[in-house]
Amino acid sequence: MRSYTRSIPAPGAPEPLGVETIGVPEGSTVELDVRLESVTEGVYVSGTAHAVLEGECARCLDAVHDEITVDLGELFAYPDSATDETTDADELPRVVDEQLDLEQIVRDALVLTLPLAPLCRADCPGLCVDCGEKWADLAPDHGHETLDPRWAALREHLPAD
């Protein structure tokens, strides 16, 4: 068994490391701490990946800064092993020229763990649907009077305030 610690830059376009609302900024560091174990059918890779995230809150559109640590675990099949012969090429990664390409397993682990609707804080109230201002910045009695146009003709019969 061998252990490795590496810092790699996060990829950018055309395939950034993230989803539309949050991700690892291009060029920022992804820290890998992996263990490689030789097993009968290939090399088993286990460990963790750690990265800084940036995005925007799904409710109020403020910037979100967070960190993420995910567990990694994947078998890379040796060429001509029983596993290599019994699985499709896209089912399991392969050892190619005695090298392992960890990009896809790191990408899958990080992206599948990201929240689809990131929040700046758990109790974020979001935006006022009428004026678009952040509820956190508005007075507690903030509101908008909306009159249904079907009842507008009756308004002229009400006494003036």
Could you give the C-alpha distances from 32 to 28, 70, 109, 147, in angstroms and in order?
13, 10, 12, 58
Instruction: Report residue 103: phi and psi, to 5°.
Output: -55, -45
The domain in which residue 113 lies consists of 2-125
For 42-72, what is each residue's pLDDT tens digit?
Answer: 899 999 999 999 999 999 999 999 999 999 9
Query: Is residue 56 assigned to a domain?
Result: yes
Burial of 90 (0-12, 13-18, 19+ CB in 10 A): exposed
Q: Give the Cα separation of 9 and 60 in Å (integer).
A: 30
For 76-121, what is each residue's pLDDT tens digit?
Answer: 888 876 665 666 666 677 777 888 888 889 999 999 999 989 999 9
Please tell me the pTM assigned to this model: 0.75
Per DSSP bridges, beta strands 42-56 and 17-18 are: unpaired
Query: Is residue 94 assigned to a domain?
Result: yes
Query: Is residue 143 assigned to a domain?
Result: no
Number of domains the chain is built from:
1
Query: Is residue 147 assigned to a domain?
Result: no
